[in-house]
Chains A and B, each alone.
Chain A
Amino acid sequence: MDNLMWVEKYRPKTVAEVIGNEDAKASFTNWLIKKRREKAVLLYGPAGIGKSTLVYAAAHDFKYNVVEMNASDIRTRKAIMKMAAPAVSLSSLDEFSFETKGNLLLLDEVDGIFGQQDRGGVGAIVKIIQNSRIPIILTANNIEIQKLRPLKKICHLIRFRRVRIPLIVAFLRRICQAENIPAEKEALEILAQNSLGDVRSAINDLQTFCESRKILRKDDVQFIPLRNRGFNIYDTLKGMFSANSSVEAMKILNNSLIDYDTLLLSIHDNLPLHYKNPEKLAIAYEALSKADVFRGRIQNEEWRLLKYVFEFLSQSTTIAPGEFQPFNFIFPPTKRYLLMRTSAERTLLKTICTRIGAKCHVSQKTANSEYLPFLKIIFRKKSDQASQLAKWLRLDNSSINYLKKTN
């Protein structure tokens, strides 16, 4: 017995075997074998629907040698140049053989370049594309990221959609036949539906359920939880804002890898970008406010209340179903970013308020709201009182300057 993962074992070898996305397939092969007006193509769409698979299948059909880099490779400018530059400019060893037409560069998951460590990565890729003499194929889950803009401009874009359920069912059935495992039609349907159009996850699920069984029945898969396919933040936000109902949004929420506090803040950040209509925005914010109230009530104890947080969150993003217009998502949460950026200022503020608190028997919060505004006026006046106060409160120069600063 082999112990290959089924996703590998049954990965389509030829373009014809790749299921779904017929238009995208045609468009891609057309680009690859006819004259390429753009030097690079960007295949985008959700995970597990066959983007990379299609590239390998096409390379097989048209005899290309695939040089691949993906998100796990380091994406600094240097790393990309080192690996990709020889592939695109120098003659490959195989160039003169009749077996292959040469190299094809696959940059998988370019939206992963977005991370902090990948500085200069996008620029490096643009440069490579411009100088390339070989086909370059990029894939991404999400192309709404601002940083990918330069790439979108110079690439031929091909969109991949979720694979339709009947196609997945048929594909799962072929696997079952090959593995000699009888399966009930309903069981395969549940698995396919549960995959939300992600063929790879459907196959993984099928293998999991068949591992311990000789036959696959409907009841076996009846109660599977939605796959933890782990939506990243972009998939989550995009999925939630483009969902057609709160139920759909909830499914995405349940499958998101993002913790709910980050989610709360991110939806908060992006809400006004999604809803232009004040009425709808107010309704959405009302729901978000309730989600936050329930998050507060949980207080790390009453986790059973989490479902209300999710319900209100799902509602807040689906007030206007069908009106989703792609926009650049704000992330990471503005509040966290600002808190980081202003931490020096707040440390100073805290020092001053602690001094006031100790002398005047109040909390730092009260010091900030009840004393500070008045002290600022007093310190702007440059009076005797100001210098006496500074001495009494033992304020250092930076604190004094802070108080003198207008506002």
Chain B
Amino acid sequence: MNQNDAVMWTEKYRPKTLDEIVNLKDVVESLKAFLRKPATMPHLLFAGRPGTGKTTIALCIAKQLLGVSWRSFALELNASDERGIKMVRERVKTFSRYSRGSLASIPYALVILDECDQMTSSAQTALRRIMETSSHTCRFILICNYSSKIIEPIQSRCAIFRFSTLKQEDVVKHLKYVAEMEHINLHSNAAKTIVEFSEGDLRRAINILQTSAVYEDGKMINEQTILRVVGQASPKQIQLMLNKALSGKLIDARNMLYELMTTYGFSGVDIIRQMHRELFRLQHLSQKEKAELIGVFGEYDFRLSEGANEDIQLSALLAQLTRFSESRGNSANG
């Protein structure tokens, strides 16, 4: 194995320096400029969809800035795991205040705060103060999906970088590179199918590839492989739940929802995304009907982020689906 002993390909083939990053030219160039004169680097805010390289670039910066022992000087936190003001107060504050004057080899410590759009606004307000008071000892790299969910004062203290969705050909190129390194047979149609299912999310694309490789165990990976792997990876309960709701059995559908949320630990956002995918695979709905449902999904997706109980919002969505199927006078034979 090479310098990296990682077994998960997303880690094994994660770029280690900014030079290894092929796309995102603008972002990479400005960041390289900062790295040449670290003192000039402001706090950074990375915004973009999942699997577009935000965390990867943050880690590249940490490694290049802090050297081999970067793990000692960078605090990597995920706000979705430890959200809330307590996390900011306890972990970030202690870490960022810690003086590193005696360690002249590094310019400052680094806090990488991933998924920080998951933080409550009061936690963000606390964070804002800490960013201000600790700027001579510490820099922050904030990572989020939606910069609109970050409070204004933080946005204004950061250089904001937007990560656009990866181009299809870039994803294909990377998949082929990984396949070559791993000596696996990847049919070019299969690569395209992976790209379709991963929706610009490189992490997902690589996970599909690795799983397909295990699935075929040395044999050629073709389009069928990908379809099977993706099909198995999407929970069957979601499809069943949809069918129940669309055949008027709301209570059954809701019981499946409870199961998905408790036994399987899925978040509401995960479930609605999967439901959305499944819905559009349903054969018996017309384009117009699907379009009608998009609006309903969008509304409840939004309410998920504002509401207090995800199961209430998703059940309400299921109730709308039941009404929809009832009003169209027939049902999916769930």
A binds B: yes
Chain B binder among A47-55, A108-116, A215-223, A287-295: A287-295
B234 touches A373 (CB 8 A): yes
Chain B hits for A16, CB < 8 A:
none
Chain A hits for B323, CB < 8 A:
278-279, 281-282
Chain A hits for B327, CB < 8 A:
279
A356-382 CB mask vs B (1 if < 8 Å, else 0) is 010111111110111101101110010
Residues of chain B from 220 to 259 with CB closer than 8 A to chain A in the complex: 229, 232-237, 248, 250-251, 254, 258-259
Nearest chain A CB to B274's CB is how many angstroms away? 8
Nearest chain B CB to A103's CB is how many angstroms away? 47
Chain B hits for A399, CB < 8 A:
none
What does DSSP make chain A's interface, helix, strand, loop or mixed? helix
A185 within 8 A of partner (CB): no
A127 within 8 A of partner (CB): no
A346 touches B326 (CB 8 A): no
B137 within 8 A of partner (CB): no
- Give the CA-CA distance A288 to B306 in the complex, in Å: 14
B250 touches A272 (CB 8 A): yes
B124 within 8 A of partner (CB): no
A329 within 8 A of partner (CB): no
Chain A binder among B33-41, B156-164, B279-287, B307-315: B307-315
B81 touches A286 (CB 8 A): no
Q: Which residue of A lies closest to B59 (CB)?
A: A361
Chain B hits for A360, CB < 8 A:
8, 10-11
Chain B binder among A73-81, A251-259, A337-345: A337-345
Neighbour of A285 across the interface among B80, B115, B263, B320, CB < 8 A: B320
Neighbour of B265 across the interface among A261, A350, A363, A377, CB < 8 A: A350
Chain A hits for B215, CB < 8 A:
377, 381
Chain A binder among B24-32, B127-135, B188-196, B205-213: B205-213
Chain B binder among A38-46, A320-328, A385-393: A385-393
Chain B hits for A230, CB < 8 A:
none
- Give the CA-CA distance A175 to B216 in the complex, in Å: 88
A281 touches B5 (CB 8 A): no
B312 touches A264 (CB 8 A): yes
Nearest chain B CB to A340's CB is how many angstroms away? 9
Neighbour of A268 across the interface among B213, B217, B237, B311, CB < 8 A: B311
B80 touches A392 (CB 8 A): no
A368 touches B266 (CB 8 A): yes
Q: Which residue of B lies closest to A353 (CB)?
A: B265
B115 touches A363 (CB 8 A): yes
- Give the CA-CA distance A349 to B79 in the complex, in Å: 19
Chain A hits for B270, CB < 8 A:
365, 368-369
Chain A hits for B309, CB < 8 A:
261, 264-265, 268, 292, 295, 335
Nearest chain A CB to B80's CB is how many angstroms away? 4
- Give the CA-CA distance A363 to B79 in the complex, in Å: 8
Do A363 and B306 contact each other (CB < 8 Å), given the known contacts A370-B207, A392-B8? no
Question: Number of contacting residues on B, CB 8 A?
Answer: 66
B78 within 8 A of partner (CB): yes
A297 within 8 A of partner (CB): yes
Chain A hits for B80, CB < 8 A:
363-366
Q: Which residue of A lies closest to B8 (CB)?
A: A360
Chain A hits for B106, CB < 8 A:
none
A180 within 8 A of partner (CB): no
A378 touches B254 (CB 8 A): no
Q: Which residue of A lies closest to B322 (CB)?
A: A278
Nearest chain A CB to B108's CB is how many angstroms away? 21
Size band of the A side of the interface? Answer: 35 or more
B6 touches A359 (CB 8 A): yes
Q: Which residue of B lies closest to A282 (CB)?
A: B323
A281 touches B322 (CB 8 A): yes
B300 within 8 A of partner (CB): yes
B81 touches A364 (CB 8 A): yes
Chain B hits for A363, CB < 8 A:
78-81, 114-115
- Give the CA-CA distance A84 to B300 in the complex, in Å: 55
A3 within 8 A of partner (CB): no
Do A377 and B233 contact each other (CB < 8 Å), given the known contacts A296-B306, A360-B11? yes
Do A289 and B265 contact each other (CB < 8 Å), given the known contacts A297-B306, A357-B81, A389-B7? no
Chain B hits for A97, CB < 8 A:
none
A289 touches B115 (CB 8 A): no
A285 touches B315 (CB 8 A): yes
B120 touches A392 (CB 8 A): no
A292 touches B313 (CB 8 A): yes
A373 touches B233 (CB 8 A): yes
B316 touches A289 (CB 8 A): yes
Chain B hits for A212, CB < 8 A:
none
Chain A hits for B259, CB < 8 A:
338
Nearest chain A CB to B105's CB is how many angstroms away? 24
A342 touches B263 (CB 8 A): yes
- Give the CA-CA distance A234 to B55 in the complex, in Å: 51
B308 touches A377 (CB 8 A): no
Nearest chain B CB to A406's CB is how many angstroms away? 10
A377 touches B229 (CB 8 A): yes
Neighbour of B300 across the interface among A289, A296, A353, A393, CB < 8 A: A289
- Give the CA-CA distance A279 to B300 in the complex, in Å: 18
B11 touches A335 (CB 8 A): no
A117 within 8 A of partner (CB): no
Nearest chain A CB to B325's CB is how many angstroms away? 8
- Give the CA-CA distance A334 to B315 in the complex, in Å: 13
Do A374 and B211 contact each other (CB < 8 Å), given the known contacts A279-B326, A365-B267, A392-B5? yes
Nearest chain B CB to A117's CB is how many angstroms away? 26
Nearest chain B CB to A364's CB is how many angstroms away? 5
B265 touches A346 (CB 8 A): yes
A407 touches B235 (CB 8 A): yes
Q: Which residue of A lies closest to B14 (CB)?
A: A361
- 9 tightest A-B CB contacts, nearest first: A282-B323, A289-B316, A373-B233, A285-B319, A363-B80, A285-B316, A296-B308, A295-B308, A363-B78
- Of the A-B pairs whose beta carbons lie under 8 Å apart in the complex, a sample of 19, sorted by A's number, is A286-B319, A293-B313, A295-B307, A296-B306, A296-B307, A297-B306, A346-B265, A361-B11, A362-B114, A363-B115, A365-B267, A369-B266, A371-B207, A373-B235, A374-B210, A378-B214, A381-B217, A385-B7, A392-B8
**B binding-site residues for A, Cβ under 8 Å:** 5-8, 10-11, 50, 55, 59, 76, 78-81, 114-115, 120, 122, 203-204, 207-208, 210-211, 213-215, 217, 229, 232-237, 248, 250-251, 254, 258-259, 261-267, 270, 300, 303, 306-309, 311-313, 315-316, 319-320, 322-323, 326-327
Excluding A289-B313, A374-B208, 8 further A-B contacts by CB distance (< 8 Å) are: A278-B322, A349-B264, A365-B270, A374-B229, A377-B211, A378-B211, A392-B6, A392-B7
